[in-house]
């Protein structure tokens, strides 16, 4: 099973988009799956169910940061290079769906309300919006990580 397929399977089983994307990538970057899953948990639902940045996107950003980020405050060159990579990643994902805002992607659903969660379920938005976004987020992160020599097949 590919990373993107594993991520969609995780999401379908109940993981947040952020957890699904970050976990499948983080495992190959040296972090344990349980650790990655816990770390990404707060980014679900557009960061704490607030409908902000899409969890698939933030999960990918976390993976890019894990692989390409600076490990010391003094390493400003690495930090700035990561910012460029993240900006490119976000632009590619914005181009895919027109936005990376969770609430906009989910047609205005407020995930804090039962009505909002019911709307996502009734309209099958997890299948039509979230899972395709998870797939694309993993694909784009994999592409970048391969280009940077941080990820194998």
Q: Is residue 153 predicted with pLDDT exceeding 80? A: no
pLDDT of residue 28 exceeding 90, the answer is: yes
In whole angstroms, give the CA distance from residue 95 to residue 83.
18
Q: Region 45-64: what's the mean pLDDT?
A: 98
Report angle CA 14, 150, 86 to the nearest 5 degrees.
70
pLDDT tens-digit map of 99-142 = 999 999 999 999 999 999 999 999 999 999 999 999 999 999 99
Residue 152 pLDDT: 79
pTM above 0.95, yes or no: yes
Which sequence spans correspond to the domains of the chain?
3-147
CB 64 within 8 A of CB 84: no
Identify whether the C-beta of residue 40 lies closer than 8 Å to the C-beta of residue 16: yes
Q: Which two tokens stand for residue 55?
A: 């969890």
pLDDT in tens, 65-105: 999 999 999 999 999 999 999 999 999 999 999 999 999 99
pLDDT at residue 86 in the model = 98
Confidence of residue 49 (pLDDT cuts 50, 70, 90): very high
């Amino acid at each position: 099973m590919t990373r993107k397929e594993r991520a969609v399977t995780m999401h379908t089983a109940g993981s947040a988009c952020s957890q699904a994307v970050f976990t499948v990538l983080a495992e190959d970057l040296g972090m344990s799956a349980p650790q990655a899953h816990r770390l990404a948990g707060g980014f679900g639902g557009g960061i704490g169910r607030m409908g902000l940045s899409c969890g698939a996107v933030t999960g990918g950003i976390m993976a890019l940061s894990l692989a390409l980020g600076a490990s010391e405050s003094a390493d400003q060159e690495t930090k700035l290079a990561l910012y460029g990579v993240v900006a490119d990643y976000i632009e590619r994902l914005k181009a895919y769906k027109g936005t990376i805002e969770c609430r906009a992607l989910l047609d205005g659903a407020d995930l804090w309300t039962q009505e909002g969660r019911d709307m996502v379920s009734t309209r099958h938005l997890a299948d039509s919006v979230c899972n395709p976004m998870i797939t694309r987020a993993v694909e784009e992160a994999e592409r970048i990580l391969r280009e940077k020599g941080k990820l194998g097949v």
